[in-house]
Amino acid sequence: MNEEKEVEEQPIPLVIQKLEAHHADALLSQGEMRGTVVVVVRKEQAYAVLEYLKTDPELAYTFLVDITAVDNSQMESELMQFDYARYMVVYQLYSYQGQCRLRVKVPVHENDLNTPSVTGLWQGANWLERETYDMFGINFEGHPDLRRILMPDDFEGHPLQKDYPLRGRGERESFNFDKQNA
């Protein structure tokens, strides 16, 4: 019984309290996973929320650790939960001040792959967004230089999509070295 009570009385993390107070309409879900706070945010307000998280003096998530995406097309439970959005763009943030991590996820539908770029907030986001575009085809609006980074420029398709085969679609055999050099 005592244990149950303790679980109930766990305080709500500050970041969730503050987001509920300032950006309640942007939040789709919030929770904690293995000690990290995870919030899912509407795409339209994603930039505002990330800017708020970075600039708020109490939260100060000044360090952008990572941007990536997950293709949920084979993860039925996630699809159901977030209105069948195929992609989830994932931001990992860290606060030097509070020494804590935060994960912000933004659902992106397949029929509208645009999502705001955060290069205006963090310089480091530039290549991360390029990689996410390269691997998943997500279009970061407002990115200064959104082009492929790891795959060749004339590559077709986005390799980390779940329907892209592990061994490729024959690009290796038909790679045109002469054309590349020209």
Partner 1 sequence: MQGGVERATGEKMVLNFGPQHPATHGTLRIVLELDGESILKATPHAGYLHTGFEKLGEHLDYNQYIVVTDRMNYLSPLSNNFGYVLAVEQLLDIEVPKRCQYIRLLMAELSRVADHLLWLGTAALDLGAFSVFLYSFREREKLYSIFEKTTGARLTTSYTRVGGVFRDLYDGCEEDVRQFVTNFPKALKETHTLLTRNRIWMDRTKNVGPISPDDAINYGLTGPCLRATGVAHDIRKAEPYSSYDEVTFDVPVGTNGDAYDRYLVRMEEMIQSCGIITQVLDNMPDGPVNVEDNKITMPNKSDAYGHIEGLIHHFKVVMDGHGVQPPKGEHYCATESPNGELGFYIVSDGTGTAYRIRIRPPSFFHFQALPHMLEGGMVSDTVAVLGSLNVIAGELDR
Per-residue contact flags (x/-) with partner 1 for residues 115 to 144, judged by CB under 8 A: -------xxx-xxx--x---x---------
Q: Which of 48, 79, 113, 149 is in the footprint of partner 1 by CB under 8 A?
A: 149
Q: Which of 10, 99, 174, 181 is in the footprint of partner 1 by CB under 8 A?
A: 99
Supply the DSSP symbol for 123: T
The identity of residue 92, as a single letter, is Q
Residue in this structure with the two tokens 């679980």, named with its chain if needed? 7
CA distances from 127 to 58, 59, 113, 130, 134 (A): 28, 25, 18, 5, 10
Kind plus residue range of the DSSP H or E element containing 21: helix 14-22
Q: Which among 4-12, 39-47, 71-79, 169-177 is the span making contact with partner 1, rule CB under 8 A?
A: 71-79
Supply the DSSP symbol for 47: H
Q: Hey, which residues between 10 and 49 contact partner 1 (CB under 8 A)?
A: 33-34, 36, 38
Does residue 182 bind partner 1 (CB under 8 A)? no
Closest CB to partner 1 among residues 92, 139: 92
Does residue 90 bind partner 1 (CB under 8 A)? yes
DSSP one-letter string for 23-34: -GGGEEEEEEET
- 139 exposed, middle or buried (CB, 10 Å; 0-12, 13-18, 19+)? middle
Q: Which of 13, 71, 87, 138 is in the footprint of partner 1 by CB under 8 A?
A: 71
Q: Which residues of this chain interact with partner 1, rule CB under 8 A?
A: 33-34, 36, 38, 62-66, 68, 70-71, 74-75, 77, 90, 92, 96, 99, 101, 103, 122-124, 126-128, 131, 135, 148-152, 159-160, 164, 166
